Amino acid sequence: MSYNLKFSRYNKCSILIDWPSEIDENILNSILNFKTSILNHYSKQNVEVVNTYNSILVIYDVAVENINAEFKRLKSLFKLQDRIEKPEIKIWEIPVCYNEEYGIDLDNLALKKQCSKSEIITLHSKVIYTVFFIGFLPGFLYLGGLDPKLYFNRKSTPNLNIKKGAVAIGGQQTGIYPQNSPGGWHIIGQTPVTLFNVDHNPPCFVKAGDKLKFKSIDKLEFLKLKKRFAKDAFTPKFSSTNA
């Protein structure tokens, strides 16, 4: 699928490339293919490429002197992206305990949505989500595919002490807090999985374009897995497929 991209100078050392402002898997695939093209083309240069839902930021190690020539170069690369071999996509299984001790906003969410907690858990855990990008905090996964019945505006007053591993809903998205931090999303559970570890290579085992499914577990299993992950640095189960 072809898109009319917008190329603009972000600052003296970077270029911003925008797709249509939508959360869409076709756009994501286009972004990730183009990201791969750029990294392959500039493999001998120190270039960083950061993506969001509908944009790429290309960061160069030196100032871009001839911006129009660089725009032309990138546009030529974009035309070649369909030649890229489709990458292997992993589908991660992330265990989550939705116990009220960990899902501290689950009662309120059920009340506001006028449904049962078990219905929220079922709706949340039956979907295979897409990892659109990683940001906000290192290892924070922005996941697309949340059931519209679970859409809920973010809190007007953020929680200042959200626990590492908290699984939450904010607006039309769901995600996992990779470390203790403030945040305005509604906490419905917690995973024992560590999503970001600076001692690992890569620090986050999940990448943009991967898939993710939540598996509901009880408190006993949560505590057992938390101990196991902490001790032996296990990563979750996954299956693989082609994009």
The CATH number of residue 34's host domain is 3.30.1360.40
Query: Are 79 and 140 contained in the same domain?
Result: no
pLDDT value at position 240? 67
> Which tokens sit at 13?
């050392």
pLDDT value at position 154? 92
pLDDT value at position 139? 84
Q: Which of 211, 216, 213 is nearest to 189 (CA)?
A: 216
Query: Are 98 and 166 contained in the same domain?
Result: yes
pLDDT value at position 192? 94
Q: What is the mean pLDDT of the chain?
A: 89
Measured CA to CA, the distance from residue 22 to residue 31 in angstroms comes to 12
**Strand-pair partners of 153:** none
Measured CA to CA, the distance from residue 12 to residue 234 in angstroms comes to 42
pLDDT band at 213; cut points 50, 70, 90: very high
**Which of 35, 66, 83 finishes a domain?**
83
Query: Are 231 and 184 contained in the same domain?
Result: yes
- Residues 95-153: tens digit of each pLDDT: 999 999 999 999 999 999 999 999 999 999 999 999 998 877 788 898 999 999 999 99
Measured CA to CA, the distance from residue 198 to residue 74 in angstroms comes to 32
- Residues 75-84: tens digit of each pLDDT: 999 987 655 5
Query: Are 59 and 38 contained in the same domain?
Result: yes
Measured CA to CA, the distance from residue 130 to residue 174 in angstroms comes to 10
pLDDT value at position 120? 96
Query: Are 67 and 124 contained in the same domain?
Result: no
Count of structural domains within the chain = 2
Query: Are 214 and 126 contained in the same domain?
Result: yes
Contacts of 192 (CB under 8 A, 6+ apart): 95, 97, 165, 222, 223, 225, 226, 228, 229
**Which of 32, 56, 83 finishes a domain?**
83
- Asked if residue 102 is part of any domain, the answer here is yes
pLDDT value at position 31? 92
Phi/psi of residue 149, nearest 5 degrees: -65, -15
Checking if the pLDDT of 58 tops 70, the result is: yes
Average pLDDT over residues 48-74: 93
Q: Sort residue 165 into left (φ over 0), alpha (ψ -120 to 50) or beta.
A: left
Q: Which domain holds residue 168?
A: 88-242
Residue 19 or residue 46, greater confidence: 19
Average pLDDT over residues 142-171: 93
pLDDT value at position 236? 73
Query: Are 167 and 199 contained in the same domain?
Result: yes
- Asked if residue 109 is part of any domain, the answer here is yes
Query: Are 182 and 205 contained in the same domain?
Result: yes
- Residues 35-56: tens digit of each pLDDT: 989 998 887 778 999 998 899 9
Measured CA to CA, the distance from residue 13 to residue 64 in angstroms comes to 6
Average pLDDT over residues 156-168: 92
Query: Are 102 and 212 contained in the same domain?
Result: yes
- Asked if residue 1 is part of any domain, the answer here is no
Query: Are 131 and 78 contained in the same domain?
Result: no
Query: Are 61 and 160 contained in the same domain?
Result: no
Which of 20-24, 170-174, 208-212, 234-238 is predicted with the least confidence, judged by mean pLDDT? 234-238
Measured CA to CA, the distance from residue 69 to residue 54 in angstroms comes to 23
- Asked if residue 22 is part of any domain, the answer here is yes
> Which tokens sit at 178?
């990779």
